[in-house]
Amino acid sequence: MAIILAAACLNALRPAPARASFGPPQQVITTDPQTCVHTRLTDEVEEWKVQRSLQEARELGAPTIVEFFPWAYIESAEDRYDWAAADRIVRHAENQGIRIIARMGLVPDWARDSDRLETSTLNTLPEESYADFAAFVADFAARYAAVIDQIIIWNEPNLAFEWGFSEVDPAGYARLLEAVYQAAHAANPNVEILAAPLAPTLEPEGSPAGLNDLLYLQALYDAGAAPYFDALAVHTYGFTSPPDDPPAPDKLNFRRAELLREIMIENGDAGKPVYVTETGWNDSPRWAYGVLPSQRASWTVRALQIAAEDWPWAETLCLWVLRYPAPSYSYPDDFALLTTGFQRKPVFDAVRAYTQGEAVPEERWLPPPAAPSS
């Protein structure tokens, strides 16, 4: 009895969990409404970090975020939904005055082939489960109607690993779009279905790793997908090239998005908008495709200017990525605008100054020493 009492007393002394109470509704102030940032809030455990991340997005001047809402998390058992984490994100985003573009994907165990469960991945969606996925998207669209009206269907299906390590299949993805489109529009007539962003890649036909994004997009049109998406999501990364570098089919750079746009126009889809849902540079000192922090900062701002001036068809330019809930301790961490500990990186300060119409901030680091390393 004494032990139980002592345990109860100790438990009462435990600090209360950090709370994230809502403040007054906020508005995003920005000179560039295309500015957007991809967040990673779904995997965040602590609510105050969700709130802090969205506050940082607002301070960045981004009126829009892209967030991932995995099917496997929300409907882990058939017809049993847990919306708590999604609701939490939506409430905090609304409080900060931020619009959400939702990305859908990740297949729960029950919707995968039970005979292949041990070797299939969360990106393995059997065709017989397309209707289940469509039903989930419709439920999501209905629940968040008027709050989330843009939904991305899948991610980078032109990469084998994003297609469950099966051969990439534009016609199969077209059938997935067809399955989703009617159901989602019936649930929310204002919803925009975004065809999946394709990974920028030069993989040729027959490669086991994937397929060139330009070839894949054309194949998608050839498969008759056009009536089943309202807009195209695009991933375009700068890698080691500056943002003004002209596009070419055999080159991966920021303006490769213009080539995807040309394919849309050639296929009679000029009236549909584009949402660039991932872009940016990486300032890892070691990654083969990393650049200096100063280059990353100035190139990112210039990319936003290019989109604002020359890409009227682009609704958003979303930077990958605001912050990771946990670090990988490898080069992907250097895509973040904030460290996991909420330390602002130089690119964050530069984008914030741009969206607030301020002068580009002075470099906040010391000049290199007189005899620097080569």
Partner 1 sequence: MAATTRRSVFLIGLAALAVWSLALAVGVWRWNSVLRVGPPGRSIFPYGELRVAIDPSNPPFAFPESESFAGIEPELAQAIGARLGVPVRLIPHGFDGLYDAIRADQADMAMAALVINPARSSDVRYSPAYFNAGLVLVVNGETPPASLSEAFSGRVALAYGSDEQTEAESWLRRVEPFEIAPYETREHALDVVRLGDADAALVDAITAGRYRAAYPGWESSLLQVSVVPYAAALRPDRPALAAAVERTLAGMLADGTLQTIISRYLR
Q: Interacting stretch for partner 1, rule CB under 8 A, among 138-146, 228-236, 306-314, 359-367?
A: 359-367
Asked whether the beta carbons of 37 and 7 are under 8 A apart, the reply is no
| Residue 240 near partner 1 by CB under 8 A | no
Among 18, 77, 292, 360, binds partner 1 (CB under 8 A): 292
Among 52, 88, 175, 344, binds partner 1 (CB under 8 A): 344
- CA–CA separation, 356 and 309 (whole Å): 17
Kindly state the tokens that stand for 120.
């299939």
CB of 33 to partner 1, least distance (A): 26
Considering beta carbons, is residue 63 or 108 the nearer one to partner 1?
A: 108
Considering beta carbons, is residue 9 or 288 the nearer one to partner 1?
A: 288
Considering beta carbons, is residue 14 or 364 the nearer one to partner 1?
A: 364
Among 72, 339, 353, 356, binds partner 1 (CB under 8 A): 339
Q: Which residues neighbour 373 within 8 Å (Cβ) at sequence distance 6 or greater?
A: none
Residues 108-167 that bind partner 1 (CB under 8 A): 118-123, 159, 161-162, 164-165
- CA–CA separation, 148 and 289 (whole Å): 34
Q: Interacting stretch for partner 1, rule CB under 8 A, among 31-39, 96-104, 289-297, 352-360?
A: 289-297
Which residue's structure tokens are 């080691």?
A: 240
Residue type, 125: L
Backbone angles phi, psi at 153, to 5 degrees: -100, 105
Considering beta carbons, is residue 123 or 279 the nearer one to partner 1?
A: 123
Interface with partner 1 (CB under 8 A), residue total: 45
CB of 165 to partner 1, least distance (A): 4
Asked whether the beta carbons of 122 and 74 are under 8 A apart, the reply is no
Residue type, 253: N
Q: Which of 239, 326, 230, 343 is nearest to 284 (CA)?
A: 239
Write b or e for each residue in 3-15: b if 16 or more Cβ atoms lie within 10 A of its Cβ, otherwise e.
eeeeeeeeeeeee
CB of 170 to partner 1, least distance (A): 19
- 50 burial (CB, 10 Å; 0-12 / 13-18 / 19+) is buried
CB of 101 to partner 1, least distance (A): 20
CB of 59 to partner 1, least distance (A): 15
Q: E strand or H helix at 67, and its extent?
A: strand 64-70
Residues 5-44 that bind partner 1 (CB under 8 A): none
Hey, is 210 helix, strand or coil?
A: strand
CB of 69 to partner 1, least distance (A): 18
Q: Interacting stretch for partner 1, rule CB under 8 A, among 2-10, 169-177, 212-220, 362-370?
A: 362-370
CB of 368 to partner 1, least distance (A): 5
Q: Interacting stretch for partner 1, rule CB under 8 A, among 141-149, 182-190, 222-230, 281-289?
A: 281-289
- CA–CA separation, 72 and 108 (whole Å): 4
CA atoms within 13 A on the CB side of 153: 31
Asked whether the beta carbons of 237 and 280 are under 8 A apart, the reply is yes
- CA–CA separation, 80 and 92 (whole Å): 24
Site string for partner 1, 300-329 (x = CB under 8 A): --------------------------xxxx
Kindly state the tokens that stand for 287.
């990654």
Instruction: Write out the residues near partner 1 by the rule CB under 8 A.
Output: 118-123, 159, 161-162, 164-165, 285-289, 292-294, 326-333, 339-341, 343-346, 348, 363-366, 368-373
